[in-house]
Amino acid sequence: MSHSSPNKTFTIQPGGQLSGAIRVPGDKSISHRSIMLGSLAEGTTQVSGFLSGEDNLATLNAFRAMGVVIDGPHDGKVTIQGVGLHGLKAPTEPLYLGNSGTSMRLLSGLLSAQAFDCVLTGDASLSGRPMRRVTGPLATMGARVESTEAGTPPLKITGKQKLTGIQYDMPVASAQVKSCLLLAGLYAEGKTCVSEPAPTRDHTERMLKGFGYPVEVNGATACVQPGGKLSACKIDVPADISSATFFMVGAAIAPGSDITLQHVGINPTRIGVINILRLMGADLEISNERDIGGEPVADIRVRASKLKGIRIPEDQVPLAIDEFPALFVAAACAEGETVLTGAKELRVKESDRIQVMADGLVTLGIDANATEDGIIIQGGALGSGTVDSHGDHRIAMSFSMAGLRAAGPVVITDCANVETSFPGFVELAARAGLSIRG
């Protein structure tokens, strides 16, 4: 891991409530893409609201290493001097992408179409994550991307390959695979179409259009053709709904809470958490809806309410895949049983999120049973104890919010990665009313 203090610990004293109006950091997915597309655009792109966590900085540094002049981030502002679709230069050493699966999967598509060779590496965690889901279809297009025998990083990409567009039916819904192939498709002869079995986030398609590159979307299929260009633009990155989720859950479970989350991205492919919390009986009010750079944005007000356990509809699972750790905490505080199925993908995230959350909830006295593709949680009273987050930022932040309803202190170990996705989490949570030390 590249972070400095692997044994960073959070300590949460029980009680408290969340209130006020806050803006959580920018959306990670959109921040990644703003750097990638801004670099390939013609002209100067200005980004505000950029999330300067380690994952997004890995993307930024990769493009710097390929000759793109990028100023910032300063207070979430980044200025990118675009080099056009064919202006990237060969990096002098392997591109190190830290813990960022998004960077690696999207770049593998983009870089398989360039005139130079390069190698993509990552930290221990990223080096264990599956890459065949992108290297397979890229090979069909004519790319040369080699991984280890296990199908994991490092990825060795051989340039100067002639790519041909394909029609790809994704076996598993994955925005990263879709984005990877669409980016390669900008350079491939003919049309590249990707069809998904279930809707996934569509930030790449929206931002390509925002930069003036035509994307054809029909139902579950997105297509691009080569020959277009990206024109520089301004991007105000929406606040990340995944980061807002911790506060939404905290306010829903802590009596007396009333919090407003400002400028949150409410992309229809990401609002599973809103739909699921509403099904559980949460009091959520959405206002001030507007459109910023192709992305819908709104303010979300959440007040405490009595939650009830539900069977989570499987069609909501891909729309809430990153939000489940926090939703499991909501389920622990709800009346009755919550059942999740169809979420096998959670086992191959930064940690096995199903098992790690189940273990943590059991430590805090909740009856939680991991299943092959989900979990069964009986709502109950949260106790006190020490939970291992296994270096997974979303686990750490989810259990932090559990402290609002715990009977005694909750201690969470291995929290250094929180800074990666949510810089300033401890300070912001404390300001909103959580008794947290980190």
C-alpha 3/C-alpha 367 separation (Å) is 33
Concerning whether 322 is annotated as a catalytic residue, the answer is yes
- β-partners of residue 369 are 376
Backbone angles phi, psi at 412, to 5 degrees: -120, 125
Neighbours of 258 (CB within 10 A): 14
DSSP codes, 271-339: THHHHHHHHTT-EEEEEEEEEETTEEEEEEEEE----B--BPPGGGSGGGGGGHHHHHHHHHTSBSEEE
Pairing of strands 155-158, 95-96: unpaired
Residues 375-406 as b or e (16 or more Cβ within 10 Å = b) = bbbbbbebebbebbbbbbbbbbbbbbbbbbbb
Q: Catalytic pick from 27, 236, 240, 322?
A: 322
Neighbours of 416 (CB within 10 A): 20
Sign of CA dihedral 321, 322, 323, 325: positive
Q: Which residues are catalytic?
A: 322
